[in-house]
């Protein structure tokens, strides 16, 4: 029986076509016979997604706005300090050896030295754009006590004993900038306490507190900055420096306030957030818990230098940057072209990428270290500018895939 099915199918088609109207009666949109059917539209070709741009692209010295006007002396001193870490890499050894032998440190001589030792590479975002967000940070000065009292009731903690840190690079070298943080619960490693979950822990852990602070919002912002000085009742000061973090992602409380209509974007500076917090004390906990990230500190002496950055080196005011080490080598000189806080006045100078930060993610993205104290805090709190960046690398350096005609 099945061998007759093709014949039956043909008969059905013929019968159907016999009932169609004659060509003269056809509507334009009718499809009477195969020969009269419109040609199906051709599907557009599938265009593969454009590959992301390489983060480092060759540049010329004359691409750097203001290069010939800056005095690179302070940045040069910071570079010499960074060489303690950089010279562990073979490509940096000739540069560091040469830097230690430089005698003439006036502006033109140092610029000539940089031009002889380095090549500039433009930092480029994956989408090909070359501008990004430049913010500011500083080292605040808080009031505190060695002991909990009525006026000092907000504890500062060092890394807790139950905080487990897993360095992923030990198993997966390609993940060298990533680590896991958690705590043991039974036989499992679970996420560590978020900020909201940590608060109930403070009372039972109070004997381990390093210091006690008088203002919770000041303490919160010290965690955001990553370091701070604490002035004690006897007039002495201690420095608290970043030691570790709870592993939760940083969330901006400024953005949280904007999204809820509590502040306009132009009001969400550090000072604007502090003003809102003091005007809404009943909502302070809700505000702070919007950022689940929590920072733990270690105590350092104040004398002699600034706070330590991610390289373990003292940061230099107005010459140190926090960068994303996935794209910018820590310790490398960086030419920054941006504007001053809340201004169109150019701010172009040689910097050193000596620090990192939880909110510093992306190729053209940096945090400008302004120094210590209220004036530095005023500048840092207002800074939210657009800028461009060039990283200076030793002449022997070639990023993967660099064209053979890159400038030498």
pLDDT(328) > 60: yes
pLDDT class of 14 with cuts at 50, 70, 90: very low
Query: How confident is the model over 192-204, as a mean pLDDT?
Result: 95
Burial 277-291 (b: 16+ CB within 10 A, else e): beeeeeeeeebbbbb
| Residue 312 and residue 174 in contact, taking contact as beta carbons nearer than 8 Å | no
Quick one: angle between helices 270-279 and 374-382, nearest 10?
100
Predicted local confidence at residue 34, as pLDDT: 55
Predicted local confidence at residue 2, as pLDDT: 40
Question: Poorest-confidence range of 122-131, 270-279, 303-312?
Answer: 303-312
pLDDT(87) > 70: yes
What span, in angstroms and rounded, lies between the C-alpha atoms of 338 and 113? 24
Q: Which residues contact 168 (CB under 8 A, 6 or more apart)?
A: 175, 176, 178, 179, 180
Q: Which residues contact 336 (CB under 8 A, 6 or more apart)?
A: 134, 321, 347, 348, 349, 350, 351, 366, 368, 387, 388, 389
Question: Poorest-confidence range of 239-243, 247-251, 267-271, 300-304?
Answer: 300-304
Nearest to 263 by CA among 252, 274, 251, 254: 254
pLDDT(17) > 50: no
pLDDT above 90 covers a percentage of the chain that reads 72
Per the listing, tokens 């480029």 go with: 124
What span, in angstroms and rounded, lies between the C-alpha atoms of 26 and 9? 25
What tokens appear for 99 in the block? 């830097």
Q: Under DSSP, is residue 165 helix (H, G, I), strand (E, B) or coil?
A: strand
Predicted local confidence at residue 229, as pLDDT: 94
Residue 383 phi/psi, 5-degree rounding, is: -85, 115
The mean pLDDT value of the chain amounts to 87
Query: How confident is the model over 329-345, as a mean pLDDT?
Result: 95
Predicted local confidence at residue 40, as pLDDT: 67
Alpha-carbon radius of gyration of the chain:
30
Predicted local confidence at residue 398, as pLDDT: 85
pLDDT(369) > 90: yes
Predicted local confidence at residue 16, as pLDDT: 42
Predicted local confidence at residue 19, as pLDDT: 43
Q: Under DSSP, is residue 26 helix (H, G, I), strand (E, B) or coil?
A: coil
């Amino acid at each position: 029986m099945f061998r007759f099915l093709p014949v039956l199918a043909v008969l059905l088609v013929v019968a159907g076509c016999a009932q169609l109207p004659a060509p003269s009666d056809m509507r334009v949109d009718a499809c009477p016979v195969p020969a009269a059917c419109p040609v199906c539209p051709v599907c557009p070709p599938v265009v593969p997604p454009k590959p992301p741009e390489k983060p480092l692209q060759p540049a010329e010295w004359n691409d750097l706005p203001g290069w010939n006007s800056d005095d690179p002396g302070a940045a040069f001193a910071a570079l010499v300090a960074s060489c303690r870490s950089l010279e562990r890499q073979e490509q940096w050894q000739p540069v560091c050896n040469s830097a230690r032998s430089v005698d003439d440190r006036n502006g033109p001589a140092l610029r000539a030295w940089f031009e002889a030792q380095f090549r500039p590479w433009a930092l480029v975002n994956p989408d090909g754009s070359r501008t990004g967000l430049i913010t500011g940070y500083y080292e605040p000065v808080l009031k505190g006590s060695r002991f909990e009292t009525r006026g000092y009731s907000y504890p500062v903690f060092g890394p807790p004993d139950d905080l487990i840190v897993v360095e992923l690079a030990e198993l997966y070298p390609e993940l060298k900038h990533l680590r896991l943080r958690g705590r043991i619960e039974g036989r499992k490693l679970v996420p560590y306490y978020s900020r909201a979950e940590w608060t109930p822990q403070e009372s039972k852990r109070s004997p381990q507190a390093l210091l006690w602070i008088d203002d919770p919002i000041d303490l919160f912002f010290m965690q955001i900055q990553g370091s701070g000085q604490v002035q004690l009742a006897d007039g002495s000061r201690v420095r608290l420096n970043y030691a570790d973090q709870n592993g939760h992602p940083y969330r901006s409380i400024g953005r949280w306030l904007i999204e809820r209509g509590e502040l306009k974007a132009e009001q969400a500076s550090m000072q604007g957030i502090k003003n809102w917090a003091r005007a809404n004390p009943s909502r302070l906990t809700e505000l702070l818990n919007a950022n689940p990230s929590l920072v733990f500190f270690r105590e350092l002496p104040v004398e002699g230098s600034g706070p330590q950055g991610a390289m373990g080196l003292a940061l230099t005011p107005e010459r140190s940057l926090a960068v994303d080490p996935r794209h910018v080598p820590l310790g490398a000189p960086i030419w920054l072209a941006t504007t001053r806080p809340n201004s169109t006045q150019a701010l172009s100078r040689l910097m050193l990428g000596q620090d990192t930060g939880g909110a510093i993610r992306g190729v053209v993205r940096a945090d400008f270290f302004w120094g210590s104290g209220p004036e530095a805090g005023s500048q840092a709190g207002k800074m939210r500018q657009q800028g461009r960046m060039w990283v200076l690398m030793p002449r022997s350096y070639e990023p993967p895939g660099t064209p053979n005609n890159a400038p030498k």
